[in-house]
Structure 1
Amino acid sequence: MRLVVTGREGQVVSSLLEAGQLAGVDVIAIGRPRLDLANPDTVIEAIAAAKPDIVVSAAAYTAVDQAEDEPDLAFRVNAVGAGKVAQAAARLGVPVIHLSTDYVFDGSASGDYVETDATAPASVYGASKLAGEQAVAAANPRNLILRTAWVYSPFGKNFVKTMLRLAADRDEIAVVADQWGNPTSALDIADAILHAAATLHRNKDFAAFGTYHLAGTGETNWSGFARHILDTSRVSGGPSARVRDITTADYPTKARRPANSRLSSAKFASAFGWSAPDWRLSTQAVVRRVLS
């Protein structure tokens, strides 16, 4: 199976390259300048040349606050570019697995979001990703749209690495305590993608295409996430610090974040027989890797 993934350095791309090597799956990452979602005319030729069995649409504009000032670029990459990736896969007669986000919801629900809940993005980034979902679905009926949230990994910039860096210089870190979600390891996302891709590759008559939620098992808030990171670090001989709870109002950002990002991944588990580990276990594994 030959998996072609868009992007070169993102957390999921890096995790897929590692997981593919371990699993004996041919994972090919293509990115700029050969494939540039900000220049959608590059997309179809680049993907066709890579000869995929399945395309993973992972590259995106992810600067959430900056998107408020660059809406045209965010939509060009996350909507038009994503649609071109799906179109390229459709022209080759292969499925596309597209990564999306909890930011398509406004965070006002009281419980876990399911795939049929109404979307209502509260930021430019969220709106651009929702437009991307719609473009992907319109361009290729053989799509899996995977919404995930609170992604971290040993790679790139993310919350886990930020907490460890801050703890090396501070005795106390203020962290938002009124936003809830499912911390999700990109290593787990990669494992889930390989699992789903194998199902699609094996079953040419697969009929359950569409939107799925894919997030870590269990929930917490950002301060609880931070405490677990730093507790793990301390036990492992790494930096640690006290965590002080603050509210979203205490830490204003240009883009509005959902107060509730909790996603139910039951549909994905039912369709593919795969569930993420408890978020605490996955966090511990990543913290130890970062410290090693």
Structure 2
Amino acid sequence: MRLLLIGRSGQLGWELMRSLAPLGNVIAFDRRDADLSAPDRLPALIANAKPDVVVNAAAYTAVDKAESEVPLASTVNADAVGVLARAARDAGALFVHFSTDYVFDGEKVGPYVESDEPLPLNAYGRSKLAGELAVEAAGGDWLVFRTSWIYAARGANFLQTMLRLAHERETLRVVADQQGAPTAARMIADLTAHAIRQSMGERTSGAFESGVFHMTASGSTSWFGFASRIIETLRSRRPGQVVTREIEPIAASEYAAAAARPLNSLLDNSKLERRFGVFRPDWEVYLQLVLDEVLGTCHR
């Protein structure tokens, strides 16, 4: 099997490099090779690679900056995604793409299911929703995985920010009224590899169906709860090195940000579990695994 991975240098792309390797020959591009801000160059890359699967892990992810860079966010997250999806279709390849909880407004009580009506609150969410629609419009065989609150052992993310601030500030002020499921890129990559393996078998037997699926860790917490668990674990692993003494819960309205965020980012994963038979660990399980990697220690 030939797999073309776009966005290999990102936090999710890095993990996909590992998880996709057992499936076959992985051809991985970073932004220098596949720049989604220049969509016209993308079809030739796919045509030349002749892949069986195209996995797009590249995206414009600067949520606040997207409010002032709407055209760029739209080009990367929507226009280029449509180009990739059509090129994958023309190559007869399965197209795999990742979206976000930010396609919803967060007003629902309880986890969102895939059939709930999207209503993005910000430019980033609108661009990601447009990307989903572009994939569907392209046709062919495709999978879109919506996830949320992604973090990893590398890259810019909430975990890395908390680890840095823990050594710099005595008091941290963290939003406590937004709920979600912190989801490790490592878990997403593992589940994606499983889904691709199963999907390719379904394609061979003529049983494959394209669709949107929610993919997050199980359980839930707030950003405050996530931060508290990070600092608590860091303090136990590195006693005497943590400057932070207090974590103060605040409302989202107290946090200055250009883009509005949904208060409820919980996604129901029942459809994913039924289709692919996956097990999703609680968010704290993968947090410990990622912290083991970051801190170079093994938790017992």
Give unmatched runs, 5+ long, in structure 2: none
Q: Distance in 1 between matches of 2:266 and 2:288?
A: 20
Alignment-mate amino acid for residue 138 of structure 2: A
Could you tell me how far 1:31 is from its partner in structure 2?
2.8
C-alpha contact 1:176 1:248 (8 A) present in aligned 2: yes
Most deviating of 236-245 and 137-146: 236-245
Q: How does 1:88-167 map to 2 (within 5 A)?
A: 88-167=87-166
Shift of 1:209: 1.4
Deviation string 1:199-245 (CA, Å, 9 cap, x unpaired) is: 12222223331110000110000000011111121222265433110
Partner of residue 236, structure 2: 235
Q: Is the 1:55–1:89 contact (alpha carbons within 8 Å) kept by the matching residues of 2?
A: yes
Give the aligned residue type for 1:219: S
Q: Read off the aligned partner of 1:73 and give its amino acid letter.
A: L
* CA distance in structure 1 between the aligned counterparts of 2:191 and 2:88, rounded to whole angstroms: 20
**Which residue number corresponds to residue 76 of structure 1?**
75
Q: Does 1:283 align with 2:283?
A: no
Contact (CA 8 Å) 1:236, 1:288: kept in 2 or not? no
User: Normalized against structure 2, the TM-score is what?
Assistant: 0.94
How far is 1:6 from its partner? 1.1
Q: Flag the 1:98–1:24 CA change in 2: closer, same or farther, 3 A.
A: closer
Partner residue, 2:216:
215
Q: Give the fraction of aligned pairs with identical amino acids, expressed as a percent.
A: 45
| Alignment of structure 1 residues 238-253 onto 2, 5 Å | 239-240=241-242, 241=244, 242-253=246-257
- 1:224 maps onto 2:231 in alignment: no
Contact kept, 8 Å, 1:44 with 1:88, in 2: the verdict is yes
Structure 1 match to 2:4: 4
Residue 5 of structure 1, CA deviation: 1.4
Q: CA RMSD in A?
A: 1.3
Corresponding residue of 2:260: 256
CA distance in structure 2 between the partners assigned to 1:152 and 1:142 by the alignment: 28
Any idea what the Cα deviations from partners look like across 1:60-115, whole Å, max 9, x if unmatched?
Answer: 11110111001111111111000011111101111111100000001100100000
Aligned residues: 291
2:17 counterpart residue number: 17
1:273 aligns with 2:277: yes
- 1:41 maps to 40
What CA distance in whole angstroms lies between the structure 1 residues aligned with 2:11 and 2:152? 6
SS in 1 for 2:266: coil
The CA distance in 1 between the partners of 2:115 and 2:126, in whole Å, is 17
Shift of 1:8: 2.7
Question: Which letter maps to 1:247?
Answer: A
CA distance in 1, matches of 2:49, 2:213: 26
Cα distance change on mapping 1:213 and 1:24 into 2, 3 Å = closer
* 1:18 CA displacement: 2.1
Counterpart of 2:216, as a letter, is A
3-state DSSP class of the match of 2:3? strand
Q: Which moved more, 1:230-239 or 1:82-91?
A: 230-239
2:229 aligns to what SS in structure 1? helix
User: What residue ranges of structure 1 are gaps of 5+ in the alignment?
Assistant: none
Check 1:210–1:216 CA distance in 2 against 1; reply closer, same or farther (3 A cut): same
Q: Is the 8 A contact 1:175 1:226 kept in 2?
A: yes
Please say which of residues 241-250 and 147-156 is displaced more in the overlay.
241-250
Distance in 1 (alpha carbons) for counterparts of 2:3 and 2:231: 36
Rounded Cα–Cα distance in structure 2 between residues aligned with 1:265 and 1:12: 19
Letter in 2 for 1:227: S
Give the TM-score normalised by structure 1. 0.96
The Cα of 1:141 is off from its aligned counterpart by 3.4
